[in-house]
Structure 1
Amino acid sequence: MPLDKGKSKLPTFFRPKFPWATPNPSSQQTSDPYEPLPQSTRPQTPRILAVEIPLNVLRPVAFRVFTKKHNLTLKSDALALLCSFVGRRCGAEWRDSGAGEKLLDEVARQWRRNEGANGVLVDGGEGLKSVIRGLEVGGDSVGLSREKSFDITEVPSSALYGGGAGMDDIAAAADAGELEDVEPCAYLKVIDAFSQPKFAYNPLKKQFEKAPKPSLLPPPQTKTQLFRTRYNLLHQRLLRTETFQLPTFSAASSSAAKAVNRLTPISNLLGRSGQSFLLFGMLGVSPSGLLILLDPSGEIVLDLSIATAIPEDGSWFTPGCFCILDGAFEETGKFTVFTVGQPCAERRATSVEVFGHVDFLGNGVTLDMSVSSGGQQGRILRKAEKSLEHVKYLFIGEVELDGKGTLRALRKVFSEYETEPPLVVVLMGNFCSVAMGSSGGSVGYKEYFDQLASLLQDFPTLTSSSTFIFVPGDNDPWASTFSGGASTTLPRKPIPEIFTTRIKRVFTQSRGPNSAIWASNPCRIGYFTQEIVMCRDDIFSRFQRNAINFKKSDHPMEDALSQPEATGDEGEEIDIKTKNTKVSYPHSPSPLDRFYGIIGILLAFTRYLVLQLVLADPRMQPSAITYESCHVMNPGKLVQRRMARWVEYSPSIGKGKVCEAGF
């Protein structure tokens, strides 16, 4: 039934659940022209008197928001347009109430979302005018809070996850109170390590910038730039912490001067022997075998004879790690270390203040949408994410298809979720207990996946409702063909299609909305505002082999290893002695062992190794812990003493739990 033309027009964001239930005007309504009109039930907002803001008055505020915070440059015509917009929307109290700065921040964020990394120069053209027109539709003043921000949900569906849904669908469901009906698979995207957009960190601007597509054979300076970028990122993060910030009051008093912690470059130690310093840099090994610390200004030999690790029972220190050293500079040119600590972690909400406008995954969701300051669009995404309480992820590690009891364990796990299928099932390698190159070729390896396909055919509900993601390990092709199962470079390519045809046929026959995804190692999952990193690596045993020993002969974390491993591949043990701080090798070391004896990395793709949230290491017991708001899970090994073990993750609460079942 059409609405009565006499009623006031509903706002565009209002979507009644039952339009036909809208009450009609009363039939008893009189035609007396002097009778007062009925008051609207919608809360009335106070009118704001527009003012004219001079350019020189708004310029410092706009510079602080656009240039300092969002790394944008304003032209004169754009500033004039913003002066008119802020004066019209915020009135005379635009500065005292902070509404003007919040409005400019909304404009900058929306410009970033529309123009991307290439829109550094903001002019008064059609691009800025369209942003302002979009914010004008909001109707409410922004002088209250970020939660009552503008309605910026009119984003094309193609900008989000590449699915068939968009922000307008979530907004409609949010208005109708039916967020449970949102299809979660439409907002799920798996990002391959070789297709994720690349951002380069600019230390001068202290911002990330769009970089060209990387190459497998980068120029030689990429290796140097890798460690320099890591140093700059960690250094600027340390300077943002309260420990290394200068006091706002005068430091003339001795108590204030002693309380300040300062990081000293290595080049500034010359001629200052006998004094104590705080150094920050990367541990390394010199060509003569001595343990050294490096930063962009130089290097220095370390003496760890009296050093103590902080914390003593919870950290690994190996060559290639960045750490903070507290010690004294000696006349001999060495640095005597008292304590060794790792750079403190930074919460995501703090990083958002600096890099909130960057879309690292390329799925249309910026970093700031995951926190409360992410505006209306982020608020709707987070609300939809938390409302889907039934969504589950399964992470299963070390699925050795040729192992004893592996298929029975998988059948047990799949049976637990046949009635309530999870959204995602992640199977992580190794998928073969022996490297493919040494196990008789590719025919036997393909038969293992054919057996898995036969098992999946018995669970049609699971294959039609869940997305299966396969992450390769060291023994999987094609890397194992050349390495024989030893550690190879990261990231690694997905398992070739020649071995996956039977499994793909199972998902094609189920005719479900999802399918099997053969991902790289590592890879990432984008789900609403969450970012999940998955990596399969024997990182703990590698740390154990290369760890620097301090006062104790046994490293305190060795007890956590279920299967300790004291030697490296082919018996090459790397032991960094404490007494004389010299690195000794049983055999003649190769050039790689001298500096990076830990793992090979494709230098142009190191940006994917920054965060590991799901780290599958079969030599560690399954676990799920939270550190500084970052949830880290390790599914461990699937089969352990006739028990099947896996990790179940609930994205609505951001927590995972270790599950087990006998078979």
Structure 2
Amino acid sequence: MVNAMRSAIVKVFSTKHSLTLPATALSYIEQTLRENDIPEDEWLVGLEFWAREYLKGEDSSSLVSLPALKRAYESLQVGTNDDSQIADPAEINVENHFEIIDSFDMPPVHFDAVRGGFTTAKAKPSIAGQASSRSAFLRERWGIIKEVILRNENFTPPAIGGHDRSNYLKLTSTRNLLGRAGQLFLLFGMLSRDMEGRLCLEDGEGRVRLDMEDAVPGEGLFTEGCMVLIEGEYTIDETIRVLAMGHPPSEKREVSRNLHGHTDFLGTGAMSLKEEQKYTPTVLANTQVSFVILSDVWLDHPRCLPALRKLFEGYAGAAEYRPMAFVLCGNFCQRGWEGQGGLKRYTNSFNALTDLLLQFPLLLSSHFIFVPGPLDPWSSSTIPRPALPPAMTARLTQRIPKARFVSDPCRIRYFGQEIVIFREDLMGRMMRNLVGVKDGQSDEVDMKRYLVQTILDQSHLSPLSLSIRPTLWEYDHALRLYPMPTAVVLADKYERYELTYEGCHVLNPGRFVGGSGGEGGEFEWSMYYPATGRSERSALTLDD
């Protein structure tokens, strides 16, 4: 039986279509045929469809890769014709299209400025990166955003000259400023400081000092490390007298996916926009799928576990609306792990949470995702942060089948959607390091909108200088927001909010414990619904 099955696979894939099957791919095909009880007389027909679907893929090669083979199989489930959509979305198992991605597992995708596209490095990134990586990742960040700017309609004149060609904007590099004092220029670069502490603009070719006395900042938050567009006059003092400053334009997810749909940014396999759209009916049909997102879950707080018990009781009793995933963000203890008994405190807290979860067997089919906070072990000032150590979480991962401890940030892929989870007190850090902000805009609603606009226009979770927020040089790709995600969770100790900017939904679930909940008030969190791409506030009180 096994020999006959393997012979049929080799006959279709290798002999007929000249494809090389690694052992993992061959085993996956055999396993799929057995699990679906495909009759032997239908093997050749089914394998032929599978091989053809694989060859249609944008990243297909003669050496069959397991992710591409899986995507071909998934495409067969939703229909292989170009005009077809899902025949019956209810037949698709959504669990097969749900993945959790750790930052340290993401492929090292680098931007090639010469080709104007992305390549995946063969060497694995290192936490102790090479000296060349120190400048390389900043150049890549600058290059990605510059490509977005040059594709913007305001910077793209028609190929054939017209009367309005002079109305289009044009960037000038810092190298081309010399000898042109008294002229106005539009520059793009990164805000930084020189050795004397003066504010400068750096681009890929040099640096120029900025005179901000007459500057009029646009909307958003401007800090050192931000990539900005600056309009100003070059003076005889070799400085730019800044007249206006703004963030670069953002690029919607659909545009980026059309350009780079063949690039595997997450390590789950590349998916073209056309292939992604096949799953849209399934996503829209599964309106019951939801993600519960909590932040500042202080497990050692006396009111936290009773509040979690009440929360779990509510979801366990709602069979039709049972969440697909619970995302719990740190800090998981009030004072963090430092100090006497820190390791024991964390271990006991997670053991207590394990005992609580085991009392709700109906919820154990859900995923439980744990994202560390700034004070959780073994936290440092650098990002991304690794997952919590197994020494204190071993019992939970052994007893709870779908529990996963991941890095900060991490990502969730649900069909073609990408949800970024980031636990960082970003609002306070940005506000403490402002270089400029639009006059008269101190309203909190504007600050929330400005923060969301800033990180999405910057295409990065931490648009700050390395001296303010150090990052692991060779893992900076895990902090990118390009292509723009479907949703971003900015779990912050700042008050909760939800905003949608350029089609990307951004939310802060608020503090589950540590805010009003710690004083006997409400415990709040957020529910995210992939079918609508929106979130809503949820809350409970122990006094109800």
What's the TM-score, normalizing by structure 1? 0.65
1:477 and 1:495 in contact (8 A); partners too:
yes
Partner of 1:453: 354
Partner of 1:423: 324
What are the superposed Cα offsets for residues 121-150 of structure 1, whole Å, 9 maximum, x if unpaired? xxxxxx59x9xxxxxxxxxxxxxxxxxxxx
3-state secondary structure, aligned to 1:114 = coil
The whole-number CA distance in structure 1 between the counterparts of 2:372 and 2:283 is: 29
Pairing 1:544–2:449 present: no
Partner of 2:491: 617
The whole-number CA distance in structure 2 between the counterparts of 1:161 and 1:215 is: 30
The whole-number CA distance in structure 2 between the counterparts of 1:555 and 1:291 is: 23
User: Which letter maps to 2:478?
Assistant: Y
2:395 to 502, 522, 525: 502
Partner of 1:644: 523
What are the superposed Cα offsets for residues 6-38 of structure 1, whole Å, 9 maximum, x if unpaired? xxxxxxxxxxxxxxxxxxxxxxxxxxxxxxxxx
**% identical equivalent positions:** 31
1:434 to 318, 326, 335: 335
1:296-335 residue pairs with structure 2 within 5 A?
296-311=204-219, 315-335=220-240
Question: Where in structure 1 are there 5+ consecutive unaligned residues?
Answer: 1-105, 116-126, 131-154, 509-514, 563-593
Pairing 1:215–2:126 present: yes
Partner of 2:151: 240
User: Which letter maps to 2:255?
Assistant: T
Partner of 1:336: 241
Deviates more, 1:539-548 or 1:183-192: 183-192
1:472 to 357, 360, 372: 372
1:627 to 497, 501, 505: 501
Tell me how far 1:661 sits from its aligned partner.
2.3
1:287 to 184, 195, 198: 195
**CA 1:365–1:298 in structure 2 vs 1: closer, same or farther (change >3 Å)?**
closer
Partner of 1:61: none
3-state secondary structure, aligned to 1:556 = coil
Tell me how far 1:635 sits from its aligned partner.
1.0
3-state secondary structure, aligned to 1:417 = helix
Tell me how far 1:433 sits from its aligned partner.
1.4
Tell me how far 1:353 sits from its aligned partner.
2.8
Tell me how far 1:555 sits from its aligned partner.
6.7
1:397 and 1:616 in contact (8 A); partners too:
no
- Quote the RMSD (CA, aligned, Å): 2.8
Tell me how far 1:604 sits from its aligned partner.
0.4
Partner of 1:114: 60
Pairing 1:535–2:398 present: no
Tell me how far 1:633 sits from its aligned partner.
1.7
Partner of 2:303: 405
Pairing 1:180–2:126 present: no
Partner of 1:82: none
**CA 1:260–1:161 in structure 2 vs 1: closer, same or farther (change >3 Å)?**
closer
3-state secondary structure, aligned to 1:294 = strand
Number of positions where the alignment pairs a residue of Structure 1 with one of Structure 2: 460
Tell me how far 1:160 sits from its aligned partner.
3.8
The whole-number CA distance in structure 1 between the counterparts of 2:132 and 2:250 is: 28
1:616 and 1:636 in contact (8 A); partners too:
no
Partner of 1:75: none
The whole-number CA distance in structure 2 between the counterparts of 1:550 and 1:657 is: 29
Tell me how far 1:402 sits from its aligned partner.
1.8
1:198 to 81, 104, 108: 108
**CA 1:111–1:660 in structure 2 vs 1: closer, same or farther (change >3 Å)?**
closer
**CA 1:507–1:347 in structure 2 vs 1: closer, same or farther (change >3 Å)?**
same
Tell me how far 1:409 sits from its aligned partner.
2.3
**CA 1:158–1:357 in structure 2 vs 1: closer, same or farther (change >3 Å)?**
closer
The whole-number CA distance in structure 1 between the counterparts of 2:174 and 2:438 is: 25
The whole-number CA distance in structure 2 between the counterparts of 1:175 and 1:522 is: 34
2:137 to 226, 249, 253: 226
3-state secondary structure, aligned to 2:229 = strand
3-state secondary structure, aligned to 1:438 = coil
1:157-168 residue pairs with structure 2 within 5 A?
159-160=69-70, 166-168=74-76
**CA 1:595–1:459 in structure 2 vs 1: closer, same or farther (change >3 Å)?**
closer
1:471 and 1:519 in contact (8 A); partners too:
yes
2:112 and 2:119 in contact (8 A); partners too:
yes
RCO greater where, 1 or 2, for CA within 8 Å and sep 6 or more? 2
The whole-number CA distance in structure 2 between the counterparts of 1:352 and 1:630 is: 14
The whole-number CA distance in structure 1 between the counterparts of 2:302 and 2:326 is: 22
**CA 1:385–1:558 in structure 2 vs 1: closer, same or farther (change >3 Å)?**
closer
Partner of 2:469: 599
Question: Where in structure 2 are there 5+ consecutive unaligned residues?
Answer: 1-51, 449-463
1:317 and 1:548 in contact (8 A); partners too:
yes
What are the superposed Cα offsets for residues 303-328 of structure 1, whole Å, 9 maximum, x if unpaired? 111211112xxx11111000001111
Deviates more, 1:621-630 or 1:435-444: 435-444
User: Which letter maps to 1:221?
Assistant: S
Select the structure of larger CA radius of gyration. Answer: 1
1:538 and 1:619 in contact (8 A); partners too:
yes
1:17-416 residue pairs with structure 2 within 5 A?
110=56, 112-115=58-61, 127=62, 159-160=69-70, 166-171=74-79, 177-212=87-122, 213-251=124-162, 253=163, 256-311=164-219, 315-366=220-271, 368-369=272-273, 374=274, 377-416=275-314
1:397 and 1:638 in contact (8 A); partners too:
yes
Tell me how far 1:401 sits from its aligned partner.
1.1
What are the superposed Cα offsets for residues 630-651 of structure 1, whole Å, 9 maximum, x if unpaired? 1112112113322121111111
2:97 and 2:414 in contact (8 A); partners too:
yes
What are the superposed Cα offsets for residues 576-624 of structure 1, whole Å, 9 maximum, x if unpaired? xxxxxxxxxxxxxxxxxx9633211000000011127433433322222
Tell me how far 1:111 sits from its aligned partner.
5.3
3-state secondary structure, aligned to 2:346 = helix
**CA 1:257–1:526 in structure 2 vs 1: closer, same or farther (change >3 Å)?**
closer
